[in-house]
Amino acid sequence: MIDLADAGEMGFDAGRLARIDGLLKDTYIDKGRLKSAQILVAREGKPVHFGQMGSLRDDGTPMRENALMRIASMTKPLTSIAFMQLVEQCKVALEEPVTKVFPEFAGLKLYNGGGGAIPFMPGKPAGPMRFVDLMTHMSGLSYGLQNRNNIDAAYRENKLDFARDHLDSDEYIKVLSQLPLEFEPGSQWSYSVSTDVLGIAVERISGQRLGDYLEEHVFAPLGMTDTAFGAKSGGEERLADAYAYRPGKEPRLIDEGAKSRLLSKGTFDSGGGGLVGTIADYHRFTAMLVNRGELDGARIIAPKTLDLMTANHLPGNADLTQMSQSLFSEASNAGTGFGLGFATVIDPARTLMPSSKGEFYWGGAYSTAFFVDPVERITMVFMTQLYPSSTYPIRRQLKTLIYSAVTDSYA
At 333 the pLDDT is 86
Secondary structure (DSSP) of 206-273:
HSS-HHHHHIIIIIHHHT-TT-EES--TTHHHHBPPEEEEETTEEEEEEE-GGG-GGGS--SS--TTT
- Residue 36 CB-density burial (10 A; 0-12 exposed, 13-18 middle, 19+ buried): buried
Contact 210, 229 (CB under 8 A): yes
One-character DSSP codes across 118-134: BPPPP-PBPPPPBHHHH
Reduce the DSSP state of residue 325 to 3 states and report it.
Answer: coil
**92-206: same fold as 14-79+209-404?**
no
Strands of 69-70's sheet in order across = 69-70, 275-277, 228-229
Q: pLDDT tens string for the chain (411 positions)? A: 899 999 999 999 999 999 999 999 999 999 999 999 999 999 999 999 999 999 999 999 999 999 999 999 999 999 999 999 999 999 999 999 999 999 999 999 998 887 776 677 778 999 999 999 999 999 999 998 887 888 888 999 989 988 888 999 999 999 999 999 999 999 999 999 999 999 999 999 999 999 999 999 999 999 999 999 999 878 899 999 999 999 989 999 999 999 999 999 899 999 999 999 999 999 999 999 999 999 999 999 999 999 999 999 999 999 999 998 887 777 778 999 999 999 999 999 999 999 999 999 999 999 999 999 999 999 999 999 999 998 899 999 999 999 999 999 998
What local confidence, expressed as pLDDT, does residue 234 receive? 82
**pLDDT at site 403:** 98
Backbone angles phi, psi at 343, to 5 degrees: -75, 145
Fold of the domain built from segment(s) 92-206: Methane Monooxygenase Hydroxylase; Chain G, domain 1 (1.20.58)
Alpha-carbon distances, residue 129 vs 101, 183, 214, 317 (angstroms): 12, 11, 25, 20
Q: What does the alpha-carbon distance between residue 252 and residue 5 come to, in Å, rounded to a whole number?
A: 37
Cβ contacts of 19 within 8 Å, gap of 6 or more: 401, 404, 405
* Four-point Cα dihedral 101, 81, 220, 48, nearest 10: -160
Which letter does DSSP use for residue 25 in this model? I
Provide long-range contacts, Cβ within 8 A and 24+ apart, for 330-338. 330/73, 330/191, 330/362, 330/363, 330/364, 330/369, 330/389, 331/362, 332/395, 332/396, 337/312, 337/313, 338/136, 338/137, 338/189, 338/312, 338/313, 338/314
Cα angle value 408/410/411 (rounded, 5°):
120
Domain coordinates of the chain in residue numbers?
A: 14-79+209-404, 92-206
Instruction: Determine the length of the chain.
Output: 411
CA distances in angstroms from 314 to 109, 288, 325, 341, listed in the order given: 23, 25, 13, 12
Q: Tell me, what's the pLDDT at 118?
A: 67
CATH superfamily of 14-79+209-404: DD-peptidase/beta-lactamase superfamily (3.40.710.10)
